[in-house]
Amino acid sequence: MAPRRNSPARQIPWYQNLWEHNAVGIAVSVCILIWLLYPTKTGAYAHAYAQQQPIIDCGPDGPVKSVAIIGAGSAGASAAYYLNKFKNPCDKVNITVFERSSYVGGRSTTVNVYDDPAEPVELGASIFVEVNKNLVSAAREFSLITTSRQSKELPGTLGVYDGLYWKFISSESSWWTTAKILWKYGLAPIRTQNLMKQTTGKFFKMYEEPYFPFRDLSQTAYDLGLTEATAATGEEFLLKNGIQSPFSTDIIQASTRVNYAQNLNKIHGLESLVCMATDGAMQVQGGNWQIFDGMLKASCARVFLNTSVTSITRQSNGTYAVDALSSNSAIQPSSYDTVILAAPLQYADLTLDPAPLNPPPEIPYVNLHVTLFTSACALNPQLFGLNSNEKVPTTILTTISDSQPVHPGFFSISTLRTLTNPKTGEKEYLYKIFSPEPLKIEFLEGILLPSPDEDRITWKYEKVWQSYPYLPPRVTFEDIQLDKEGKVWYTSGIESFISTMETSSLMGMNVARLIVDGWAGEEESQWEEVTGEEIPRTVKAAEEL
Ligand X SMILES: *[C@@H]1O[C@H](CO)[C@@H](O)[C@H](O)[C@H]1NC(C)=O
Question: Residues 173, 285, 311, 334: which binds ligand X (CB under 6 A)?
Answer: 334
Phi, psi of 77, deg, nearest 5: -65, -40
Work out whether 244 is an interface residue with ligand X (CB under 6 A): no
Residues 309 and 332: their CA atoms lie apart, in Å, by: 13
CB-wise, 23 or 330, nearer to ligand X?
330
Minimum distance, C-beta of residue 299 to ligand X, in the bound complex (Å): 13
Minimum distance, C-beta of residue 429 to ligand FAD, in the bound complex (Å): 20
Length of the chain: 545
Residues 259 and 216: their CA atoms lie apart, in Å, by: 26
CB-wise, 59 or 359, nearer to ligand FAD?
359
The amino acid occupying position 419 is L
Question: Of ligand FAD, ligand X, none, which one sits near residue 331, judging by CB under 5 to 8 A according to partner kind?
Answer: none
63-122 residues in contact with ligand FAD (CB under 6 A) are 70-76, 98-101, 106-108
Work out whether 387 is an interface residue with ligand X (CB under 6 A): no
- Single out the residue of 435, 492, 493 nearest to residue 464, CA to CA: 435
Work out whether 313 is an interface residue with ligand X (CB under 6 A): no
Selected range binding ligand FAD among 3-11, 345-353, 387-395, 398-406, rule: CB under 6 A: 345-353
Question: Residues 219, 241, 245, 319: which binds ligand X (CB under 6 A)?
Answer: 319
Question: Residues 291, 343, 377, 419: which binds ligand FAD (CB under 6 A)?
Answer: 343
Question: Of ligand FAD, ligand X, none, which one sits near residue 162, judging by CB under 5 to 8 A according to partner kind?
Answer: none
In sequence order, the β-bridge partners of residue 469 are: 365
351-390 residues in contact with ligand FAD (CB under 6 A) are 368, 370
Q: Do residues 409 and 398 make contact, with C-beta atoms less than 8 angstroms apart?
A: no
For 274-426, strand residue ranges (E) read: 283-284, 302-304, 307-314, 320-326, 335-336, 338-341, 351-353, 365-375, 395-398, 412-420
Minimum distance, C-beta of residue 297 to ligand FAD, in the bound complex (Å): 17
Question: Of ligand X, ligand FAD, none, which one sits near residue 467, judging by CB under 5 to 8 A according to partner kind?
Answer: ligand FAD
Minimum distance, C-beta of residue 256 to ligand FAD, in the bound complex (Å): 13
Work out whether 351 is an interface residue with ligand X (CB under 6 A): no
Minimum distance, C-beta of residue 441 to ligand FAD, in the bound complex (Å): 21
Work out whether 328 is an interface residue with ligand X (CB under 6 A): yes
56-85 residues in contact with ligand X (CB under 6 A) are 64, 66
Work out whether 125 is an interface residue with ligand FAD (CB under 6 A): yes
Whole-number CA gyration radius for the chain: 25
The distance in angstroms from the start CA to the end CA of the chain is 21
CB-wise, 76 or 156, nearer to ligand FAD?
76
Work out whether 195 is an interface residue with ligand FAD (CB under 6 A): no
CB-wise, 126 or 200, nearer to ligand FAD?
126
281-310 residues in contact with ligand X (CB under 6 A) are 305-306
CB-wise, 313 or 421, nearer to ligand X?
313
CB-wise, 127 or 378, nearer to ligand FAD?
127
Residues 270 and 200: their CA atoms lie apart, in Å, by: 8
C-alpha of 468 from chain center = 10
- Single out the residue of 282, 274, 239 nearest to residue 258, CA to CA: 274
Work out whether 11 is an interface residue with ligand X (CB under 6 A): no
Selected range binding ligand X among 121-129, 312-320, 411-419, 492-500, rule: CB under 6 A: 312-320
**C-beta neighbour count of 411 within 10 angstroms:** 24
Work out whether 112 is an interface residue with ligand X (CB under 6 A): no
Give every CB contact of residue 220 below 8 A, 6+ residues apart in sequence: 206, 211, 214
User: Any idea what DSSP says for residue 440?
Assistant: P
Residues 81 and 507: their CA atoms lie apart, in Å, by: 12
Q: Do residues 467 and 365 make contact, with C-beta atoms less than 8 angstroms apart?
A: yes
Q: Do residues 314 and 95 make contact, with C-beta atoms less than 8 angstroms apart?
A: no
Vertex 28 angle, CA 23 and 34, to 5°: 90
Cβ burial, residue 274 (10 Å; 0-12/13-18/19+): buried
Selected range binding ligand X among 189-197, 315-323, 489-497, 501-509, rule: CB under 6 A: 315-323
Question: Of ligand X, ligand FAD, none, which one sits near residue 150, judging by CB under 5 to 8 A according to partner kind?
Answer: none
DSSP 3-state of 500: coil
CB-wise, 48 or 64, nearer to ligand X?
64
CB-wise, 92 or 240, nearer to ligand X?
92
Residues 301 and 295: their CA atoms lie apart, in Å, by: 9
Residues that bind ligand X (CB under 6 A): 64, 66, 94, 102, 305-306, 315, 317, 319, 327-328, 334-335
